[in-house]
A = this chain, B = another copy of it.
Amino acid sequence: MSTAEETRGGDTEPWSEVTPDAARRLLIAAVEAFAERGYHATTTRDIAGRAGMSPAALYIHYKTKEELLHRISRIGHDRALDILRTAARGEGGPAERLADAVSSFVRWHAGRRTTALVVQYELDALGPEARAEIVALRRQCDAEVRGIIEDGVATGEFEVLDLKGTTLAVLSLCIDVARWFNVDGPRTPDEVGALYADLVLRMVGAKAPAAAQK
């Protein structure tokens, strides 16, 4: 039922799961518009226009404007969770896995900035049920990161005073990259990922400081 590529954690072509083609074009147009102006300031006419279609065409593929945001948010959070899970279940020690999680998570927020912006900052525009579904995914993201840090504390490699608070801070730090990252700025997503991995290892008091950077 699915091609092989979309089942693994690799960086698949984004939005390939959205079909038919017109629906995907509309969704991509919506991501760009939402990221530029915000959900509420974006009109359905703008979205349809960017996709090269009439305003009415949107409603053939999506019931409402909110359903568009919901689909975007769902797919984005699935991807984010997938990134964190892949890193958390990797082979190295806690420091290596945490550095991996942070650098790849940050790389996604910087490299796919428009998507990440919508996914992370437009949550409140969703209705209660859709929002609850997304919040559950966020909690799973939190649990993955907390798990890695817990492992590090257990082995004595990390030294943290407040596990939940530190986890929250680490995720918050990574997520906020989507707000300030500038594609035309001096840093590449890879560079920011490496910098942030180092900063986070310091935050958890990792014993071997400059070791893990892959």
Q: Which residues of A contact B (CB under 8 A)?
A: 37-38, 40-41, 121, 124-125, 161-162, 165-166, 168-169, 172-173, 175-177, 179-180, 187, 192, 195-196, 198-199, 202-203, 205
Contact B192 A165 (CB under 8 A): yes
Given the interface contacts A38-B40, A202-B205, does A173 sit within 8 Å of B165 by beta carbon? no
Contact A172 B169 (CB under 8 A): no
Given the interface contacts A168-B180, A172-B179, A179-B172, does A161 sit within 8 Å of B40 by beta carbon? no
**Interface residue from B38, B196, B205 paired with A38 (Cβ < 8 Å):** B38
Contact A180 B173 (CB under 8 A): no
Contact A195 B173 (CB under 8 A): no
B-side contacts of A198, CB under 8 Å: 161
Interface centre among A37, A40, A124, A177 (most CB of B within 10 A): A40
In the assembled complex, 12 residue pairs joining A and B whose CB atoms fall closer than 8 Å, in A order, are A37-B40, A38-B125, A121-B121, A165-B192, A165-B195, A169-B173, A169-B195, A169-B199, A172-B176, A173-B173, A175-B176, A199-B203
**Interface residue from B41, B165, B180, B203 paired with A203 (Cβ < 8 Å):** B203
Beyond A37-B124, A168-B180, A169-B196, 15 extra complex contacts between A and B, CB < 8 Å: A37-B40, A40-B40, A40-B41, A41-B125, A161-B195, A161-B198, A165-B187, A165-B192, A166-B195, A169-B199, A172-B173, A172-B177, A173-B176, A175-B176, A203-B203
Within the complex, what minimum Cβ distance (angstroms) separates A214 from chain B?
Answer: 17
Contact A172 B180 (CB under 8 A): yes
**Cα distance, A192 to B168, chains bound together (Å):** 11
**Cα distance, A168 to B179, chains bound together (Å):** 12
